[in-house]
Amino acid sequence: MTLEVKYTSQVFYVKFDDGSKAFLGYKVEDNKMFILETYTPPQHRGQGVAKLLVEKALEMARERGLKVVPICSYSIHYFIKNPNMRDLLAEPYASMSEYELSKYYEESLKRETSKKRA
């Protein structure tokens, strides 16, 4: 299955044949791209869709000379798994150790989980 990533000024998205969508919400401010959230419908998870969305967002950030502020847990996880992409991170994230980035990931995941329960 070949997926086409499209984007607007606030979201990258993929439409699936079943009518559902995966998306990455972002905003650009002060030469920074804030990755706010990622979502993949349950039936399409585990197929690399979120990774594809993050990579498209990072490609745009690099092309536009933007630094990245990862807010959502998936985007933080991406940078943990892909240390070669950390040159795109804004401070203080660029200077974080592996341990600090992992702690930030855990905090973000906890925050997102508590939001879903509320």
Q: Domain segments of the chain: what residues? A: 6-117
DSSP label of 13: E
Q: How high is the pLDDT of residue 112?
A: 93
For the stretch 1-37, pLDDT in tens is: 679 999 999 999 999 999 999 999 999 999 999 999 9
Torsion of CA 18, 20, 22, 25, to 10 degrees: 160
For the stretch 84-106, pLDDT in tens is: 999 999 999 999 999 999 999 99
Fold (CATH) for 6-117: Aminopeptidase (3.40.630)
User: What's the mean pLDDT in 69-97?
Assistant: 97
User: What's the mean pLDDT in 48-66?
Assistant: 98
